[in-house]
Structure formats: C-alpha cells, structure tokens
Amino acid sequence: MDRRPFTLDLARPLTTANGTISRREGDLVRITADGVRGVGEATPLPGWTESLANCRTALDVVADAGADTLLAAAAASPREPLAAATTTLTDALADAPAARHAVESAALDALGRREGRPLAALLTDDPAARVPVNATIGDASPEETADAAQAAVDAGFSCLKVKVGAGKLDRDVTRLRVVREAVGPDVTLRADANGAWARETARTAVDAFASLDLAYLEQPLAADDLSGHATLRSRGVAIALDETLAAVGVDDVFDADAADVLILKPMALGGPARAHAVARRARRAGVDPVVTTTVDAAPARTAAVHVAAAIPDVRPCGLATGDALDEDLAPDPAPVEAGSVTVPAGPGVAGAAFDGLF
Ligand SMILES: O=C(O)CCC(=O)c1ccccc1C(=O)O
Ligand SMILES: [Mg+2]
C-alpha cells in the first residue's frame, strides 16, 4: 500500500456553528491487486470522524498488514490464521471511519477497474448519469449571505444550503428571509445548524423558519439528542440528521423516528459502500438520504458522487464543495455545472485519474 499525506487550504473557509473549516489534511492510499490499482482518500474531520493522528495510526496498521502485522496475527493464531489477520484489520479500522473510507474506496476502485465498471455500477444495477447538487453557503452577514445565494443561483444552482446557528437566532431568521426574497419561491432552501441549539431555541427557530418554505433543517440539536429531534419533526419543517449518525448507531436513529432526511457522509460512515448501504436502509424506512462530503479532495468527492448516483432519484446532494478548496490534488473528474455533476463513466472512481499522485 502506498501512502501520500496532503494538506489543502480552503480558498473560501466554511464558517459553521461549530467553527470555521479552513484547511483539510489527510492521506491518499493506493493499493495494487493483481496489477490493478485502486486509490482512496482519508480526510478525517473530528466531530464526524477520528482525529488525523488516529486515522494515520489506523492506516499504519493496514499498511503494515501486508507483512508484519498480518503475519504476527496469523502466527499467534495458527489454527485460524486468516480470521486472525482479518480481525486485526477490522479492529484497526473499527473506530477510524476516515481510514476505513480510504481502504474501502481503494478496494472498490480496484474492483471497478478490474471489471471495467464505474464505482456506482458496483453499488447498483442502474446508476444515474447525473447527480443534482446544492450550493453550500457559510455563515456571514445577511447582506453577504444574500449575495452568496444570488451568486449560486446565477451559477445555476436551484438548491441552496445555508449554515445557521453561528450567531443569534434573529440574525439567522433575517439571513434566511433575505435569501428567500433574493432568490424567489422556486429555489429550494435548506439550513444547517450543526447542533448549535438547545431544545427551546430549536423550537423557536423551526417556528420562525416554517413560513420561509425550508425543505429541511439539518441537525438543530446536539448529536445525541434523538428524542429532541423526533419531537421537533412535528412543527412543519422537516428535520435532517448529520452529526447524529456519527455519534449514535444508525439503528437508534431509525428506532427513534428522529429524522425525515439522513445526511450521509461516506467519510464519516466508513466508505462509499457503507454509505450506500445506509441509504438503502433509509429508503426502506421512508427516510430520504442525501450524500455530502466533509469538504474533501477530488478522490473522496468523486467517490461520493458515485454513491449519490447509486441512489434512485436522489435529492440534491452536498457535493459542490470542491470550489471551496484553494487547490485540489488533481483536476476534478466530476466538476459542477449548473447545479449538477456528471458521474464519471470510466472504470472505478475515475479511471486512472489519481494514479499519478504518489
Ligand atoms: O452539505 C453540504 O452542502 C456540504 C457539506 C457540509 O455542509 C459540511 C462540510 C464539512 C463538514 C460538515 C458539513 C455539514 O454538513 O455539516
Ligand atoms: Mg451538516
């Protein structure tokens, strides 16, 4: 396994209720199986994934696993050498979803390239050719927020997600109102509070947002507050959960009837196939899945595009995050054009697009 650490600055830092994201740091991994390559990305983001240090430790175990670690584990269990080796890998990646994302993505990339099929076609029989995406608008003054919304609509987006919860609620209500006034009734508006509010503030927020035709409010309450979110759903604004999925098990979210929409970040869920499996379960439970990034580099962003393409009639996804980066690791194989992306048709994630980065 080859590894390549990277650091990317954001040209447009993303200000949320939970702080400002201004730089992304992670590792690319490249595996070679039977002469076929696969590339995957780990870009951890605490709050959703393990820390960078823990991600790198997990990848160290996997990197060594071809030789020393696997042999040691196997030698220690002579009767079940394969099971012991696999357990070593599983243990290393269990609490490291970003590291697991890199390894799973690389494996799926290699599999797709061996079979000559795009990643989305490994996940479903009938993937979409294009995926709708939303613009992501960070916290800023009402005027700046309205300007950013108008610029996004001018660029062809018909779905906008506005970050809220970083300042006072009155200011957020004003921000969303001036955005609605600027873009008119036909643009889909979402808001994302990143867990900023106590229950009472969240209730007030939902009631104030109800008249602004918000498609959904993402993560108004703390990640572990399942019953609080379940109760909020009855007030006229749909509730989406994001951070909750990284904090509690998926089963608990369904059992608590806590969400109308699930925000699926493959980086936080342990990989593209894991995220797609949650999307299928969500659909069966009558919950709508939306795929987003953690503001990742091109390899993870493109893998997430394939996940979205494997969900029938997926709503606009939070995948238009590449333009937030100052520079990327590679040219974007799935650039945003007028509010949607074309799913790369080459084998794997994007053919050989990322092979040369090592
Ligand atoms: O969903 C989007 O529009 C883009 C992704 C996004 O908002 C995000 C990016 C990095 C970390 C957290 C989040 C979030 O959804 O809360
Ligand atoms: Mg969110």
162 and 283, same domain (yes or no): yes
Name the nearest CA neighbour of 223 among 177, 167, 273, 265.
265
- Give the Å distance between the CA of 190 and the centre of ligand 1: 12
Tens digits of residue pLDDT in 145-169: 999 999 999 999 999 999 999 999 9
Distance of CA 289 to the CA centre of its chain: 11
pLDDT at res. 85 = 63
pLDDT at res. 164 = 98
Instruction: Report the SS3 class of residue 51.
Output: coil
Amino acid letter at 115?
E
Assign residue 19 a region: left if phi > 0, alpha if psi is -120 to 50, beta otherwise? left
140 and 261, same domain (yes or no): yes
Q: Which of 92, 116, 140 is the last residue of a domain?
A: 116
Token pair, residue 316, equals 């606009």
More confident residue, 92 or 68: 92
Q: Which of 291, 294, 341 to mutate to test the pocket of ligand 1 (most atoms within 8 A of CB)?
A: 294
Q: Of the segments 71-80, 105-114, 201-210, which one has the largest average pLDDT value?
A: 201-210
Question: What is the band of 239 on the pLDDT scale with cuts at 50, 70, 90?
Answer: very high
Q: Check if 88 has its Cβ closer than 6 Å to any atom of ligand 1.
A: no
Is 251 annotated to bind a ligand? Reply is: no
108 and 142, same domain (yes or no): no
Q: Which of 158, 188, 292, 321 to mutate to test the pocket of ligand 1 (most atoms within 8 A of CB)?
A: 292
Q: Is residue 217's pLDDT more than 60?
A: yes
338 class by beta-carbon count within 10 Å (0-12 exposed, 13-18 middle, 19+ buried): exposed
* Distance (Å, whole) CA 58 – CA 92: 5
205 and 151, same domain (yes or no): yes
**In this structure, what CATH number is given to the domain that contains residue 92?**
3.30.390.10
Q: Which of 99, 116, 133 is the last residue of a domain?
A: 116
211 and 338, same domain (yes or no): yes
Question: What is the band of 61 on the pLDDT scale with cuts at 50, 70, 90?
Answer: confident
pLDDT at res. 78 = 63
- Which residue in this structure is represented by tokens 């006034």? 181
148 and 274, same domain (yes or no): yes
Question: What is the band of 68 on the pLDDT scale with cuts at 50, 70, 90?
Answer: low
Q: Check if 161 has its Cβ closer than 6 Å to any atom of ligand 1.
A: yes
145 and 23, same domain (yes or no): no
Q: Is residue 67's pLDDT more than 70?
A: no
Q: Torsion angle of alpha carbons 234, 235, 237, 240, nearest 10°?
A: -50
- Give the Å distance between the CA of 260 and the centre of ligand 2: 14
Ligand 1, atom 10, residue with closest C-alpha: 294
149 and 275, same domain (yes or no): yes
Token pair, residue 57, equals 């430790």
107 and 156, same domain (yes or no): no
**In this structure, what CATH number is given to the domain that contains residue 270?**
3.20.20.120
129 class by beta-carbon count within 10 Å (0-12 exposed, 13-18 middle, 19+ buried): exposed
* Distance (Å, whole) CA 305 – CA 292: 9
Is 181 annotated to bind a ligand? Reply is: no
pLDDT at res. 87 = 72
30 and 90, same domain (yes or no): yes
- Give the Å distance between the CA of 105 and the centre of ligand 2: 22
Ligand 1, atom 16, residue with closest C-alpha: 194
For the chain, give the percent of residues with pLDDT over 90: 89
Terminal alpha carbon distance of the chain: 11
Phi, psi of 77 (to 5 degrees): -130, 70
Q: How many separate domains does the chain show?
A: 2
Question: Strand order in 239-241's β-sheet?
Answer: 135-137, 159-163, 188-192, 214-218, 239-241, 261-264, 288-291
Q: Is residue 198's pLDDT more than 80?
A: yes
Question: What is the band of 62 on the pLDDT scale with cuts at 50, 70, 90?
Answer: confident
Q: Which of 116, 139, 158 is the last residue of a domain?
A: 116
97 and 159, same domain (yes or no): no
Domain extent, residue 71, equals: 2-116
Q: Check if 296 has its Cβ closer than 6 Å to any atom of ligand 1.
A: no
**pTM: predicted TM-score of the whole model, two decimal places:** 0.95
**Which of 56-65, 71-80, 271-280, 313-322 comes out lowest in average pLDDT?**
71-80
* Distance (Å, whole) CA 95 – CA 226: 22
Q: Check if 243 has its Cβ closer than 6 Å to any atom of ligand 1.
A: no
Ligand nearest to the CA of 43: 1
103 and 155, same domain (yes or no): no
- Give the Å distance between the CA of 294 and the centre of ligand 1: 6
Question: What is the band of 82 on the pLDDT scale with cuts at 50, 70, 90?
Answer: low
ipTM passes above 0.95: yes
Tens digits of residue pLDDT in 285-331: 999 999 999 999 999 999 999 999 999 999 999 999 999 999 999 99
Q: Is residue 213's pLDDT more than 60?
A: yes
* Distance (Å, whole) CA 48 – CA 51: 9
Residues 6 or more apart in contact with residue 48 via CB below 8 angstroms: 97, 243, 246, 265, 267, 268, 294
| pLDDT mean across residues, the chain | 94
